Amino acid sequence: VTEPDLKGRHVVVSAGGTREPLDPVRFLGNRSSGKQGYALARTAAARGARVTLLAANTGLPDPAGVDVVQVGTAVQLREAVLKAVTDADAVVMAAAVADFRPETYATGKIKKKDGQDPDPIVLVRNPDILAEISTARARPGQVIVGFAAETDDVMANGRKKLERKGCDLLVVNEVGERKTFGSEENEAVVLGADGSETPVPHGPKEALAETVWDLVARRLG
Ligand code: PMT
């Protein structure tokens, strides 16, 4: 039996991967399936929370009893996050957000030009949503959780990221072409801004989600 320890709480979860359009047919994207974020949304709902799930390009069915908002790009995700966090007790950013987007959007399909090299794609920075909501908290006592998707020096990069983003908890997981993205399972270490480290062994994404909510519920008191 699941303990309804998030009853009366509003939690916001982001899931999936943003897509940054180049032209009407192409985008820059990433390998996130949304499964980890959906597992967070389902488990929070089972623990009694009101859940807003901000879903970026997942193609997954809406979890029962969860408010789902569909977004496409990082800029759209930022708008949706800023709107949802105003009355949120906790926010978990499991979405894989593009750090950069193409500077220009071609309104017509970009064409090959005979005998010419392709034009370079110029990128500009996207807003860092997690850092923004961690710095300017919408509510006192709001618990903010980020994820760190790393391929190298996983823990060292995770610790630096926790510092840089200013969130309360950071779930550090290793990713690769066939690692974590799209799979049913994950393993991670959850770093706390208080110096705590909670290892979560390899297992279903739901198990990691439950550990995240345990840590959030403890901080909400
Ligand atoms: O979706 P799945 O297939 O189940 O895979 C799960 C996952 C690998 C996508 C997930 O576990 C995960 O690691 N999500 C975070 C992916 C990511 O963007 O990590 P990052 O290290 O690049 O970003 C760090 C944090 O900042 C993340 O919480 C991210 O949501 C946030 N961010 C990043 C860039 C940006 N411009 N704004 C942000 O808010």
Bridge-partner residues for 101, per DSSP? 124
CA distance 182 to 12: 21
The number of the ligand 1 atom at minimal distance from the alpha carbon of 146 is: 28
- Look at residue 220 and tell me whether its pLDDT is greater than 80: yes
Task: Determine whether the shortest distance from the Cβ of 149 to ligand 1 is under 6 A.
Answer: yes
The number of the ligand 1 atom at minimal distance from the alpha carbon of 14 is: 30
In this predicted structure, what is the pLDDT of residue 132?
98
Query: Domains in the chain, please, with CATH?
Result: 10-98+123-220 (3.40.50.10300)
Percent of the chain past pLDDT 90, that is, above it, reads: 98
CA distance 96 to 62: 19
145 Cα distance to chain centroid: 9
Which residues lie closer than 8 Å to 106 by C-beta, 6 or more apart? 22, 23, 24
Instruction: Please list, residue by residue across 26-50, b when 16 or more beta carbons sit within 10 angstroms of its beta carbon and e when fewer do.
Output: ebebbebbbbbbbbbbbbbbbbebb
ipTM over 0.90: yes
pLDDT in tens, 18-60: 999 999 999 999 999 999 999 999 999 999 999 999 999 999 9
Helix (H) or strand (E) holding 46: helix 35-46
Average pLDDT over the chain, rounded to an integer = 97
Does this model's pTM top 0.90? My answer is: yes
Task: Determine whether the shortest distance from the Cβ of 78 to ligand 1 is under 6 A.
Answer: no
What Rg do the C-alpha atoms of the chain give, in angstroms? 18
**DSSP single-letter state for residue 47:** T
Probe residue for ligand 1, chosen from 130, 147, 163 as the CB with the greatest number of ligand atoms within 8 Å: 147
Percent of the chain past pLDDT 70, that is, above it, reads: 100
Amino acid in position 175: V
CA distance 156 to 191: 11
Are 22 and 28 contacting, i.e. CB atoms less than 8 angstroms apart? Answer: yes
Mean pLDDT of 135-143: 96
Probe residue for ligand 1, chosen from 14, 32, 38, 157 as the CB with the greatest number of ligand atoms within 8 Å: 32
Task: Determine whether the shortest distance from the Cβ of 43 to ligand 1 is under 6 A.
Answer: no
